[in-house]
Structures are given as C-alpha cells and as structure tokens.
Amino acid sequence: MSVQQPNSFRTGPDERGHFGIYGGRFVAETLMPLILDLEKAYAQAKADPAFQKEMDGHLATYVGRPSPLYFAERLTEHCRSVKTVSGLMGAKIYFKREELNHTGAHKVNNVLGQIMLAKRMGKTRIIAETGAGMHGVATATLCAKFGLPCIVYMGEVDVERQKPNVLRMKMLGAEVRGVTSGSKTLKDAMNEALRDWVTNVADTFYCIGTVAGPHPYPAMVRDFQSIIGRETREQMLAAEGRLPDSLIACIGGGSNAMGLFHPFLDERGIEIYGVEAAGHGIASGKHAASIAGGRPGVLHGNRTYLLMDDDGQIEEAHSISAGLDYPGIGPEHAWLNDMGRVKFLSATDDEAVAAFQLVSRLEGIIPALEPAHALAKVFDIAPTKPKDHLMVVNVSGRGDKDLASVEAFLESKTK
C-alpha cells in the first residue's frame, strides 16, 4: 500500500500535538493546565531572541558546542577492506561527536533549554527520569549551574548497571530515587516521575529526556536537539562541499536521532537509518525494538509504537544498553516510519558489543553502548556503498559508563 507523502516532513506536529495518528497528550486532568502552560511558555521563549541568545551563549561556553564532525579514517578503511565484486565500494564515514559535549552525551542540549524554560516559568523544583544516567547527569549538572533542587528517578536495575552516573548525579547535588516497580528500568522511572508531577503541580517542572511524552515535549525536545543536525549540515558543507548521503543514529525514545535527522528530512535524496535495540533477537521477544516488534498504543502521554501484548499490556523491554531499554519510541519517529522517510533497523546485544570493541580499537573513541547499536549497522551498510558516499553516524554518548556492563557481558560468553 502506497502512502501519500507530505509536502514537508518538518512541519509537524499539528496544534494538538499529533504527527499523523501519533503523539497527542493523554494525561491526567490535573496535569492539563501544566501542559498548556508549558506549551504557551515554550512558544513565547522560542520567539524571544533574548532566550535564544542566552542559550547559544551557554551552548558555546558551557556545553562546548559546536561538537566536531570527525572523519573516521580507520573505520572507513576497515569497511572498504570488505571484499566486493568491483573493489570500489565503501562509504566515507564521519562521526558527529556528541560524546565530547560537557556531561558526555547529547542530553545536555535539551536539558539546558528545559531548565532555562523552567526558570522562565518560575518553577523551583526539577524532576527527571533516566535510564543510562546521561539525562540524569545532564539534569543534575544544569540544576547545579542554575541553583535548582533536582530529583532523578531511576530504575534499580539501571542504578546497579550505571553506578558511575549515579555517583556523578549525587556529587552534583541531585537526589537519586531508585524505582523498584515493574522491570525497574526506564519505563518505570518515567512512571514514577509522572506520579511525582501530578502530586506536586505548583512548583515542579518535569524535564523529560527524549522525544516522547505528551505534547509539547516531543516537538520541544526535538527543537532543542536539532542543533546536532544544523551543525552537521554546516560542517559537512565545509568539509566536503555538499550534504551527506546517509545518516545513522540509535533510537530508544530517539532524541539523538531526531536531533540529527530533522534538519535533513526534506532532503529526500538522503538515506536515513534509525537503529533500535534487538536485544537477544526480535524472535526471542527479549528486545527493545518497538518498530520491529511492536504496535501502536498509548503510554506516557502519547500514542506511538509500543511493545505490548494482545490485551494492550506493556511488555518488558530488554537491551544491554540502559538508554535504549524502553518499550516505546518517540511519536514523530513512528510517523516517519509509516511515511517511509526513515528506515528502521535493529542491532542485537552481541552486535552492539562487537561494534563497541572494534570502534574503540580502530578510532581510539570508546562509544556508549547506545550509539554502538548504530555503529553495528555501519559495518553492514558502509561496505555496500560507493567510495564517494558520505555517511554520518551520531556518536551520541561516551562509553566509560558502560565498561563494567561490557566486561560482565564478555565474561558471561566465556563461561
């Protein structure tokens, strides 16, 4: 069945927060006034040159932007060494190095904007959820900078496997609240944060870490993260004199991917790949690939693709990567999938760990396990492309937080 393509992929959402049938705001009545206030405040801030000027200053002097666009020469050579019929194959691979931002990931781009917005709205208490801990660290960091109390909800499973980030959050003055319900991972942390928000509506700002949740969060987070793609356009034009031929990024909720993709969506000749976490394999049922193994439903205030059973109950996700271990995906990604604009792939735990190791040794860059999923697909895609094909991979976080998890994973393979 053919799908009618929109005139532009960059105009959504509509006034009710929908991307096609996805998105919206499915929240308790208690939260609706807060959501409407947030929508109004964000629209005003976005139109205020002083807000943007202040944010640009912090991005430059505190976050360290622009992040480099780096030619991964040895990875490119490795992919070109794969034998092909013509011997002329193998894309030229660039990394968008978001792991070099202050706090070590892309998360800080969005958190900066939201904390500035919270202060503008007069909110005096910040709450957040986190899986891999990078959003929690970014929120704790910006709360410390701006003098705001910070509470971070984190599943107990993630508290255990992401201890370095838990210690960082506490050092920065945040209170980390472990969540013991459900699968004790990101979904459950988000549940607890929403409960907190409903209970403390007057003074609390909920800083959501991805392009999910009720409108206006998916669009707002996308807008704050789109600096990744805007910089990539400028940097690729400077380096190569033209735009890239393909973009690749990992997707859990999908903020790093949307940040890279969005400025390029109307360049219809550019191939765009989103890589979900296949865990032990899609067929095993133990994965976090909502597009590959899910169906449309409602969770955390928006309609999107979810992992759920025939009765509509949310199923537990699995990924070695705490940041991708979520049973849903941002609603704009769901729409882009249905429109056929983004091709969604998936990488298993085994593939991600192999990419984590190989990229570390080839480039001297230890990626987080999250972007290691995207890098795993580079090894499949790049050798099939001609040598003049320009590929950009979003290395959305650094991997020191994952060393213990990778060590334990590799040890388990030898037993």
Look at residues 221, 238, 259 and tell me which one is the last residue of a structural domain.
Answer: 221
Same domain (yes/no): 383, 293: yes
Same domain (yes/no): 371, 265: yes
- Active site (annotated) includes residue 129: yes
Look at residues 170, 204, 221 and tell me which one is the last residue of a structural domain.
Answer: 221
Q: Residue 198 is part of a domain; what is its CATH number? A: 3.40.50.1100
Tell me the C-alpha to C-alpha distance, in Å, between residue 101 and each of 55, 60, 67: 15, 10, 7
Same domain (yes/no): 298, 356: yes
What ranges make up the beta strands (E) of 75-200?
92-97, 125-130, 150-155, 175-179
Same domain (yes/no): 379, 299: yes
Residue ranges making up the domain that contains 211: 18-62+107-221
Q: Which of 226, 290, 396, 405 is catalytic?
A: 396
Q: Which of 92, 96, 107, 401 is catalytic?
A: 107
Same domain (yes/no): 322, 189: no
What's the CA gap between 141 and 6, in Å, rounded? 40
Per-residue model confidence (pLDDT) at position 218: 98
9 in any annotated domain: no
Taking residues 409-415, report their average pLDDT. Answer: 90
- Active site (annotated) includes residue 107: yes
Is there a contact between 361 and 399 (Cβ–Cβ < 8 Å)? no
pTM value? Answer: 0.96
Same domain (yes/no): 151, 69: no
Same domain (yes/no): 257, 405: yes
Does the structure show a pLDDT above 60 at 229? yes
Burial class of 87 by CB neighbour count within 10 A (0 to 12, 13 to 18, 19+): exposed
Is there a contact between 101 and 62 (Cβ–Cβ < 8 Å)? no
Taking residues 317-342, report their average pLDDT. Answer: 96
% of the chain at pLDDT higher than 70: 98
1 pLDDT tier (thresholds 50, 70, 90): very low
- Active site (annotated) includes residue 396: yes
% of the chain at pLDDT higher than 90: 92
Q: Which of 39, 99, 129, 192 is catalytic?
A: 129
Same domain (yes/no): 264, 318: yes
Report pLDDT digits (tens) over 256-303: 999 999 999 999 999 999 999 999 999 999 999 999 999 999 999 999
Look at residues 221, 250, 271 and tell me which one is the last residue of a structural domain.
Answer: 221
Same domain (yes/no): 78, 137: no
What's the CA gap between 94 and 356, in Å, rounded? 16
Same domain (yes/no): 293, 392: yes
Number of domains in the chain: 2
